Amino acid sequence: MEAIILAGGLGTRLRSVVSDVPKPLAPVAGRPFLQWLLDYMQPYGFGHIVLSTGYMHEKIADHFGDNYRGMRLSYAVEDKPLGTGGGIRNALNHCEGDEVVVVNGDTFFAIDYSLLEAFFHRQPTRLAVVLRQVADTGRYGRVTLDCCDRISAFAEKDGSHGPGNINGGIYMLHRSLLEEYSGNGAFSFEHDIIAPRVAQEPVYAYVATDFFIDIGIPEDYQRLDRLWSEK
């Protein structure tokens, strides 16, 4: 399989605790967070990973080089922030196949990627979104499904609370989904691609309950560092 890891964010909210490296290199239990992510993905057979980078991109490239544990690494560097959608479209220029897994570089979600791939190929779809069941969707936004695992509504941080499904930050998609988008410059994959597509074509949800954490805020970053340091 081939993957894109979105690792170009400015990490503004994390600057109070991590200021000298980009967010993907934030140390967790003595190792860069991105290294934990790559180590988790490696056994699933990813042969090529494109790192979508921007802020302090040189530090990421210097640390990992062009190969990590047998996975070939390429770098799609953003001269200016492109948003999640623009970052994926830019990274696709370095991909060789038509299907790709996209992973947020500040989220650790311990899913089985081989099951995601099988799920994607069983559905009549160009996009599968990995969802996480949580007790309170307030921080993340809510994703609503119909009876057949098809997404019927995709709301990003709409203020609603209570248990439900949230966007887990992992996708499997066909590249044509981005090639058809006519907008230029920076755009959001969630707002400009997923949200309108659910009303136009089948977009399916792969719902998981595996370990999930987003290190985008200091509290969760420090919680993960403590948890894995103890283990």
CB–CB of 156/122 below 8 Å?
A: no
* CATH architecture of the domain formed by 2-230: Alpha-Beta Complex (3.90)
169-198 per-position pLDDT tens digit: 999 999 999 999 988 889 999 999 999 999
Look-up of token digits 């056994």? 43
Instruction: Look at residue 55 in the predicted model and tell me its pLDDT.
Output: 83
188-199 in b/e form (b: 16+ CB < 10 A) is ebbebbbbebbe
Gyration radius (Cα) of the chain, Å: 17
> Residue 135 corresponds to which amino acid?
A
Instruction: Look at residue 115 in the predicted model and tell me its pLDDT.
Output: 97
> Which long-range contacts does 69-74 make (Cβ < 8 Å, 24+ apart)?
69/38, 69/39, 69/42, 70/42, 71/38, 71/41, 71/42, 71/46, 71/47, 72/47, 72/48, 73/49, 74/48, 74/49, 74/50
User: How many C-alpha atoms does 92 have within 13 Å on its Cβ side?
Assistant: 21
Domain boundaries, the chain: 2-230
Which ranges in 94-135 belong to alpha helices (H)? 113-122
- How confident is the prediction for the chain on average, in pLDDT? 91
Beta-strand relationship, 151-156 and 141-145 = antiparallel
In percent, the amount of the chain with pLDDT more than 90 equals 70
Stated pTM of the model: 0.93
Beta-strand relationship, 2-7 and 99-104 = parallel
In angstroms, the CA 59 to CA 71 distance is 19
Work out the pLDDT band at 159, boundaries 50, 70, 90: low
Among 16-30, 97-111, 117-131, 170-184, the least confident range = 16-30
For 150-197, the DSSP string reads: BEEEEEES-S--SSEEEEEEEEEEETHHHHT----S---HIIIIIHHH
Q: What is the mean pLDDT of residues 117-124?
A: 96
